[in-house]
């Protein structure tokens, strides 16, 4: 049985680059269920916070602690970028790749990749080159590639930022299914409607800090701070 890697706790965590503080100090805890939506104005630190949680960024100060050691966390979390990187391989080969790199046999990896392709709506595109897919199809492939190893936690950086309404709806359906399967989702978005549809709780960032953290319903109904209220109204917040 796989040990739970959550909770994830950030304690006074600070990320700096070239002497400039990008985020922090940040204190928060990601518990073991639901979907956390990370919101805030452009430049507020959403991407950096996700990268810090995932391990792509290191805290210059403070602490980032999972419930288990780092090798175990690496094996049981995944990250989907806003613009996913496509390998020069077929759809089925791209989806199977994470399994192959972790020792799964080629036949089993391909069979599971075909199952995931069908789940995300790419069942008719198995032999197509990933690089020629549409934006929505590339994001579906990225999700299948991330979910095929059954991660406990999935980080997503504005996965629908460049997609039309239909593709966004399809991506949200995949995420809802993943959440129902027990995947813990932490996701940034600039889309207020999407945040309302998906969030169980919200982290509102401003100037590199968590300005407000709340469950979704009270946050959207009555934010605790004037900055969050202004942001939800569509006003410019600095």
Has residue 87 been placed in a domain? no
β-pair partners for 206: 209
Does the reported pTM lie above 0.75?
yes
CATH number of the domain within which 46 lies:
3.40.50.300
Tell me the residue range of the domain where 157 lies: 8-82+151-233
* Cβ atoms of 92 and 126 closer than 8 Å: yes
Has residue 143 been placed in a domain? no
β-pair partners for 79: 155
| pLDDT, average across residues 94-118 | 95
* 3-state secondary structure (DSSP) of residue 78: strand
Question: For 10-57, how does the pLDDT look when each residue is reduced to its tens digit (9 = 90+)?
Answer: 999 999 999 899 999 999 999 988 999 999 999 999 999 999 999 999
pLDDT for residue 104 is more than 70: yes
pLDDT at res. 123: 94
| Nearest by Cα to 21 from 56, 67, 62 | 62
Has residue 91 been placed in a domain? no
Number of structural domains (the chain) is: 1
Question: For 199-216, how does the pLDDT look when each residue is reduced to its tens digit (9 = 90+)?
Answer: 999 999 999 999 999 999
pLDDT for residue 2 is more than 80: no
* Cβ atoms of 41 and 238 closer than 8 Å: yes
Has residue 162 been placed in a domain? yes
Has residue 60 been placed in a domain? yes
Q: Which residue has the tokens 């790419």?
A: 122
Element (H, E) at 215: strand 209-215
């Amino acid at each position: 049985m796989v040990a739970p890697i959550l909770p994830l706790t950030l304690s006074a965590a600070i990320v700096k680059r070239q002497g400039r503080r990008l985020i922090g100090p940040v204190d928060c805890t990601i518990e073991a269920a639901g979907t956390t939506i990370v919101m805030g104005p452009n430049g507020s630190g959403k991407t950096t916070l996700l990268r810090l949680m995932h391990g792509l960024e290191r805290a210059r100060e403070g602490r980032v602690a999972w419930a288990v050691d780092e090798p175990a966390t690496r094996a049981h979390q995944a990250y989907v970028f806003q613009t996913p990187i496509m390998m020069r391989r077929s759809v089925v080969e791209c989806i199977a790749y994470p399994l192959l790199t972790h020792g799964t046999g080629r036949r089993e990896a391909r069979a599971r990749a075909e199952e995931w392709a069908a789940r995300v709506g790419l069942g008719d595109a198995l032999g197509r080159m990933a690089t020629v897919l549409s934006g929505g199809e590339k994001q579906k492939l990225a999700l299948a590639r991330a979910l095929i190893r059954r991660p406990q936690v999935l980080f997503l950086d504005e996965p629908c930022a460049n997609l039309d309404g239909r593709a966004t709806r399809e991506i949200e359906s995949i995420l809802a299914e993943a959440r129902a399967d027990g995947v813990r989702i932490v996701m940034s978005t600039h889309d207020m409607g999407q945040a309302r549809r998906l969030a169980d709780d919200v982290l509102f960032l401003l100037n590199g800090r968590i300005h407000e953290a709340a469950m979704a319903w009270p946050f959207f109904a009555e934010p605790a701070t004037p900055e969050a209220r202004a942001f939800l109204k569509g006003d410019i917040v600095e």
